[in-house]
Each structure stands twice: as structure tokens, then as C-alpha cells.
Amino acid sequence: MTHQAIYRRFRPKTFDDVLGQEHVTRTLKNQIMTNNLAHAYLFSGIRGTGKTSTAKIFARAVNCLNNRDGNPCNECEICKSILDETNMDVIEMDAASNNGVDDIRELRDKVMFLPVKSRYKVYIIDEVHMLSKGAFNALLKTLEEPPDHLLFILATTEPQKIPATILSRCQRFDLKRIKADIIVDNMKKICRELDIKYEEKALKLIAANSEGAMRDAQSILDRCISFNYQVDYETVISLLGAVNYRLILEAARAILGKDINKTMSLVDHILGSGKDLAVFLDELIICFRNMLIIKATNSPDNLMRISEDEVSEFIELNKKVTLDDLVRIIEDLSAAQAECKKALNSRVLLEAKLIRMLHEINHVIPDELVKRIERIESIIYEKNQTGHPVKEAETKPIKANKVYVNTDNKEVPITLVKDEGVKEKGSEIKSENKSDQEIFDTIKSKWESILKEIRSQNAGLQAIIRESRLVEVRNKTAVFEFDPRFTFHINAANQPKNKQAFREILVRFIREECQVEFTVRNETKQETPKTTIQDVYEDLKKEFGEIVEFKQED
């Protein structure tokens, strides 16, 4: 007998053999035992989770002559003929290669014939999402009014591509990714049956790389056995093209120690040995993820790529790093991984990213860093206001509040510097008792500086405010006017958050508590009467040009 692949040799024969899908197999068994069958089923899930295997078991179970608690006996004439693929009543189709309208029309003509020797005629259509639109329409009528002897089992990895009219006529079962520990236990069983020696950490690495697909894990296991007649860690590393976990751990230790020379040397060694850069970064990110899980939960239960002995090494490494540092490192490495996929020279980009990241890692306590920033901002603020340096002890406390604005669909942090003189949540400021005219004159004289300050904090708000014009100050309320054309600007300016941000900056500049109001210019209103000879002169000049001269008698 020729060699048979492990995933075919150890294919499940009964519902009880299907691992990790109890929510599906239990329901199907109950339907068979109570004779409460639907006419169409849909099995969906990622590759290698048991969709086709479950469909074949189901086809045998509904036709089995000696059904045992919903499971096929696999010994009767019907079961054996289906297993040997000689039963004419169980037809398996691949929709990827039979996806045309004519293929489904031919199927539709054949389903009307009664089964030859089985109870049900079963059609298993694999990768059903590959059918064309016309083929789905041709199948729809048969699914809507099927003969009593007909049973459809559809399998797909992409159920979202199946029309809703088809989905609504099927009983849908979603098969889950299989847990890593279940995959490891199954591989142990296979190795014992084949009398193959194995290392448990090698099986864990295979399970981690299978991503929940049992067939993928069995295929990797088959390659390892063919290569070395045993399953050890180094063999798995070599066949998967992965990086030795000891080297990854050493790289993580160098990064945490800010050892640039060591980090660059390890990168050169790993990439020089022919390992893929994307694989290296993925392994490094997972290494820090493992550290993060242990640090945050103090439980390594979900860490399937490392043995229990290696957990202690992570715990020791975690003593040298904070939770925030781990999160930042993972974010930086993930960003580097995404950029490296697009770069022409990914190695150079990776090395540059790693060097910059190592320089940025610092262990200053965040609270102390915030205090230092506040102290420096306070000194700068006072110097800008008074025009001369001030002693640190004389500075006013500054609050640095971080807000986020949307820039090109990305959230960008902006630090808003506020002095405690600004009224906030009922607090009072020291009033200089300026008159309305003094407030008006101050705003006019400092308008450009005010706009620059707004721009430094929120460029979008500055673009709105600069289209307005200060028209008056009444009862310590600065009234700004917009042209009627700027409907968007007036609405945006009157939003509470924008209005409050502008008022706080304005108060800071005029050193006086003041409210703001935004209005639309009334085109029909009378112009303010000219009160000075200078105003009259300006109007005449506009009307008659430079021929008008202004002479003021002594």
C-alpha cells in the first residue's frame, strides 16, 4: 500500500472523533436520533477544522443501518461503501471547479432520481462560495423545494460570500478554531501510534503555527517525521523557517538592556542565516506578547510556544521592564513590521527602527517626567509673558493636558498648556478690572499673537476663528462677527468645546475674565456712525482716491 498522508490516515470516522467541535457534533447526533433532519446544512469555518470530515460522517450516519447514538457504525454495507467512495448516493462536488450554471443544472436534473440503495441521496458541495451568481440562482429552486430523499451539505471558508437567499434555507454550523492543547494531545496520540519520538515543546510550536487548524498541524507533523523520523524542536524550527526561540529571547534581552551592539549583531546573525525578516519580527512580537501576558495576568496558561522552564526566564526579564514599556515596544515593533513590508530595503529600515526605539526607551518614572515638563513649561510661559527670565520659585503652575485631534484619520496627541489663571469649573482668576474698551484694544493689538497660539494648539480651530472679526466688547463679552457666507465656520465656532478652547486662550492674553460670542453679520444693518475726523478722511479717500489730503491744524 502506498504512503497515506497523516491527515487522511487519521481522519475522524465518527462524530466523537471530531475534536473541538462539540457544539456541532452534539446537535447533529441529536437530530439523527430524533429523526429531525433538515434538508440543507452549511458548515463554515477556517481550513482544517473538520468541515468536510463532519459532512462525510453525517452522510454515513443518516444512511447507516446500525446507527449507534447518532454515530455511524462504519461496519455495515452502506458505511463501507461510502468510506470506499463507491456509493452512488453520496456525491461530493468541488464548487471551485464545478461552479458554472450548467454544472448546477445537471445536478438539479439528477437529484430527482431516488437513491439506489441508501435512505438519502446526499450532495456534499465543498467551497460552495465559489459558485457563480447564475449557479446560485439555479441551486436556489432545488433548495427551496427539495425531494424528501435529498440532503444537501454545503461547506465553505467564506460564508459572507454566499447569498442570503441560500443562507436562509440552510441550517448553519460555524466550526471554531481548535485549541492548541487539543491539537497537541492529538499529535501525541498519533506519535505514540506511529511509535515516533517527540519533544513536547516541538509539538507546542507546531500547534502554535497551525493557527487552530488540525490539518495544518498534522501536515507539519508529517513533514517532520519524513525528515528525521522524530519530532524535535530543531527540526520543527528548520522546516517552518522560524527563528530559534533562544535567539529571540536573547534579542528581547538585548532590547530591554538597550544594548544596540548586541541587538544589531543578533539581527545580522538571524537574517544572515536565511530567516525571513517578517518571521523574525513576528516571533519577536510574540515573545514580548508572552512577557506582557505574564506581567499583566501572572498566568502563562495561553503561552503555547514556550515550555514551563522558559516561563521562569520571562518572569525574570519582566523584573527589568514596566507594563507600559512592554506595550510601547509591541506597538513600535508592529509598526516597524507593517512598514518593512512596503520598504524597498526592509533590513535597513528595521535596523533604523530598532536603533531609534532603543534610544527612546527610558526608565524615567512617568510622574517625575510630568512634573519636569510642567516646571519647564511654566518657566517658558512666564518668560513669554514678561519678556525676561523668572526664577523657578516665582513661576505659576502650568497644567499640561493631552487631547487628541483627528488628522488624516489618525489620532494625534496635542498638549494644551493652561495656566491656572483661566477660569475652569467655577474657579476664579485675578481680575484687573479692565473696561470693555481696554479689552477691545488689547484683543485688537494682540490678535496675530492670539491666532498663532490657537494654531499651535489646534490648527483647525485657528482656520475657523481667523475668518471672524471683532466688532465690539459689551459687558465683558467679546463679540466676533462672521460673513454670512461662512455658515460652516459659524456653526463650528459655536460648538461648546471650540468656544471654550478659544475663550481660555483669549482670557490668557487679555488677563481678564471674558466671555465670547459669535454672530453673523447683518448685511442690511446701518453702519456705525463715524465718530472721528480720521474715519471721515478714510471714507473720502476710498471714494475719491489719493487726491484727498488730510491736514490737521494745530
Rounded distance, CA 116 to CA 89, Å? Answer: 6
Three-state DSSP at 241 gives: coil
Pairwise CA distance, residues 224 & 239, whole Å: 7
So what's the pLDDT on residue 536?
63
Residue-wise pLDDT for 478-515, tens only, equals 999 988 888 878 888 888 888 888 988 888 888 888 88
User: Looking at the DSSP assignment, which residues form a beta bridge with residue 469?
Assistant: 481
Task: Please report the pLDDT score of residue 32 as a whole number.
Answer: 93
What DSSP string describes 421-473?
TS--TT---------HHHHHHHHHHTHHHHHHHHHHH-HHHHHHHTT-EEEEE
Q: In what order do the strands lie in the sheet with 171-174?
A: 90-94, 121-126, 150-156, 40-44, 171-174
Which amino acid makes up residue 404?
A: Y
Look at the block and give the residue holding cell 462525510. Answer: 56
How many residues belong to the chain?
554
> Whole-prediction pTM value?
0.57
Structural domains of the chain ordered from first start: 6-174 (3.40.50.300), 241-360 (1.20.272.10), 378-419 (no CATH), 424-554 (3.30.300.180)
Pairing mode, strands 230-231 and 469-474? unpaired
pLDDT value for 419: 40
* Per-residue H/E/C for 267-333: HHHHHHCCCCHHHHHHHHHHHHHHHHHHHHHCCCCCCCCCCHHHHHHHHHHHCCCCHHHHHHHHHHH
What gap in Å lies between CA 225 and CA 218, rounded to an integer? 10
Low-confidence ranges of the chain (pLDDT < 50): 1, 304, 362-365, 390-429, 525-526
DSSP class per residue in 357-372: HHHH-----HHHHHHH
